[in-house]
Structures are given as structure tokens and as C-alpha cells.
């Protein structure tokens, strides 16, 4: 019992164990029940899964309210919404990766499922380090804020040109160092095949494993934006981590519904840019106004308004437009 009450990163151990238990149960239910057989996930199934994960993420705010109060709840919801929206960029990159490696839709969920396990671990490490740094060097928050403002301004004027996966440095590095098959072998990440030089059976990676690794690297890059963004909303590691993971858990399900209609959110990029600038500027506004912190309820409301305007403008401006083909019209492995 004493162990459950022991504090870890500012919260009793039982709160962390409760969250981890919920996440593990969701992952087991997802892979062991909903997707125990390889199959192509359609838009209807994707939307149902997304609705389930979003509902659970929002429902967790009830536990936050019960255990931590209203201010923490507003911070959690703001962080959850921001992380969920920033994940939109991940979806397009994931679509590029799957197209480049010619991953059939029936195997894409398997890659994304195992990818989320890496994300949970990597985000935990980044948030743990970030929390320690912020606790000991509070001025780092100002660096995070300036970085977000810079990123938001850069996004406003960034080109919409697609990235060529063939130029990806991580991919080139991997191909130079590991044996990769030219084709898929079912849903296997690795297979044993003869070495062309010796004839001995050796372990080969399949394109499925390369896609998984590149997706993990891409998430690590996106985390450089999203983790500082959440830390400027709240410095509580529990709120930062739980909002991050709940937002990302539903990303896999949401991918299958949104990958086909991403063109309808063409103007959301500008809303995201403004949102990052707003989040980064909050700490400076609070200092100028003499506030201890920017009011969490205001932050949640302004975030909702910015994103709502971005979605509405996107849907209106892109009405009737056909989706653009991915940069790789012909799949390559």
C-alpha cells in the first residue's frame, strides 16, 4: 500500500499505474480482439475506432477533474486537443511512408500498432527528461515558447512541396547497414533467407520493418514540436504524458479515415501555425499582465476557436475538390 502512495514525478504511483493499466487494456483489446486477423480497415470501422479513442481520452478528463480539480482538467483538455491536431501532419507523413514501401492496407494497422508501443516509450523518456529540466531550469520554458513561435511563423510561410522519401537520411542509413528483402513476406517484420554470398540462412528485414522504423523516426521529429507545446500549456508530467498518449492512441484508427480526405483540411496548416504562435506567446502575455499563468479556461477556449475556424475554412474552400494523388503514384519497395 505504501508503494501505491509513493510519489513519482509529482503524482502517487497508483495514478500512474491506473493510466498504464488502461493503456495496456486498450492495446490488448485492439490487437487481440478487434484486429487479431489482418484485414483492411475501412472508413466506417476507422471512424468508430476513432470515436471510441476520442471518447475515452475525453472521459479521462473526468478522472483528472476528480483527482486534480478544474484547472488541471482545462490544461489536460487543451493539451489533448493540441496534440490531436498536431498529429494531423503525422497522418500525411505516414501515408507517404506506406506508399513508398508499398504496404498493403491490411498490414498497415499492424505497423501502426507496434509503432505506438515505441511512441509510448519514447514520449515517456522525452517528457520525463523535459519535466526534470523544467523543474530545475524554469527559464527553459521561455526557450520552448520562442521555439514554438518560430515554428508557427515558419509553418505559415513553408512550401507545400512533398518530401521525397528516397532522400530520407534515416532510410538511407538503414539500407546501408541491414539486409532488406525486395518484397513483403506476409505481415512478418523479419524473415530467414539464404545469404546470396554464403548460402547460409540469415535474418533479413522486410519493407514492413523499415516502414515501422521510419514511422518511429518521424514521430520522434514531430515530438520535438508537440512536447514543448504541451509543456507551455502545463508543466505537470502526468498531464503532459496522459494527454499525449491518449491523443496518439487514436491516431492509428483516425489514419484510415483521414488519409483519404486530408485534402479537405488544406487550410488547417494555417490554424496550426497560429495555434503554435499563440501557445508560445502565452508565457510572455502572462508576464506582461502580471499573471501567475495564462488562465487555462481561456487557453482551452481560444484553442477551440482557432481550430474550429481552421476546419470550417478548410471544408468550405475545398468543397468539391478531388483528393491529390500521393507523390508516389506507383508504389515502390
DSSP string for 171-188: HHHHHHHS-B-SS--TT-
Q: Can you tell me which residue has the cell 516509450?
A: 121
CA gap 116, 118 in Å, rounded: 5
3-state secondary structure 215-267: HHHHHHHHHHHHHHHHHCCCCCHHHHHHHHHHHHHCHHHHHHHHCCCHHHHCC
User: Does the pLDDT at position 62 exceed 90?
Assistant: yes
Residue 168 binned pLDDT confidence (cut-offs 50, 70, 90) = low
Task: Identify whether the C-beta of residue 314 lies closer than 8 Å to the C-beta of residue 267.
Answer: yes
Chain mean pLDDT for the chain: 80
Model pLDDT for residues 15-24, shown as the tens digit of each residue: 999 999 998 8
Model pLDDT for residues 203-241, shown as the tens digit of each residue: 888 888 988 888 888 777 777 777 888 888 888 999 999
* CA atoms 277, 280, 284, 285: torsion sign: positive
Model pLDDT for residues 77-120, shown as the tens digit of each residue: 999 988 887 776 677 678 778 878 888 878 887 888 888 888 88
Amino acid at each position: 500500500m505504501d508503494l501505491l502512495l509513493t510519489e513519482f514525478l509529482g503524482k502517487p504511483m497508483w495514478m500512474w499505474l491506473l493510466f498504464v493499466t488502461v493503456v495496456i487494456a486498450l492495446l490488448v483489446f485492439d490487437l487481440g480482439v478487434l484486429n487479431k486477423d489482418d484485414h483492411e480497415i475501412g472508413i466506417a470501422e476507422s471512424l468508430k475506432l476513432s470515436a471510441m479513442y476520442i471518447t475515452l481520452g475525453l472521459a479521462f478528463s473526468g478522472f483528472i477533474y476528480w483527482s486534480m480539480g478544474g484547472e488541471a482538467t482545462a490544461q489536460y483538455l487543451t493539451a489533448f486537443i493540441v496534440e490531436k491536431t498536431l498529429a494531423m501532419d503525422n497522418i500525411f507523413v505516414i501515408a507517404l511512408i506506406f506508399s513508398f514501401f508499398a504496404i498493403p492496407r491490411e498490414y498497415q494497422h499492424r505497423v501502426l500498432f507496434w509503432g505506438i508501443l515505441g511512441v509510448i516509450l519514447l514520449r515517456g523518456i522525452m517528457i520525463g527528461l523535459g519535466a526534470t529540466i523544467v523543474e530545475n531550469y524554469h527559464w527553459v520554458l521561455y526557450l520552448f515558447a520562442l521555439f514554438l513561435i518560430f515554428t508557427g511563423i515558419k509553418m505559415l510561410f513553408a512550401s507545400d512541396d512533398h518530401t521525397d522519401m528516397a532522400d530520407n537520411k534515416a532510410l538511407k542509413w538503414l539500407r546501408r547497414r541491414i539486409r532488406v528483402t525486395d518484397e513483403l513476406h506476409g505481415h512478418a517484420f523479419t524473415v530467414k533467407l539464404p545469404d546470396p554470398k554464403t548460402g547460409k540462412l540469415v535474418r533479413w528485414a522486410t519493407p514492413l520493418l523499415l516502414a515501422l522504423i521510419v514511422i518511429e523516426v518521424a514521430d520522434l521529429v514531430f515530438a520535438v514540436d508537440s512536447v514543448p507545446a504541451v509543456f507551455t500549456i502545463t508543466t505537470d508530467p502526468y498531464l503532459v504524458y496522459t494527454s499525449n498518449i491518449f491523443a496518439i492512441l487514436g491516431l492509428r484508427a483516425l489514419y484510415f479515415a483521414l488519409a483519404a480526405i486530408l485534402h479537405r483540411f488544406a487550410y488547417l496548416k494555417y490554424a496550426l501555425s497560429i495555434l503554435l504562435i499563440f501557445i508560445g506567446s502565452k508565457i510572455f502575455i502572462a508576464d506582461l499582465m502580471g499573471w501567475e499563468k495564462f488562465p487555462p479556461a481561456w487557453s482551452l477556449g481560444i484553442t477551440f476557436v482557432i481550430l474550429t475556424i481552421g476546419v470550417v475554412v478548410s471544408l468550405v474552400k475545398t468543397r468539391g475538390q478531388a483528393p491529390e494523388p500521393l507523390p508516389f503514384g506507383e508504389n515502390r519497395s
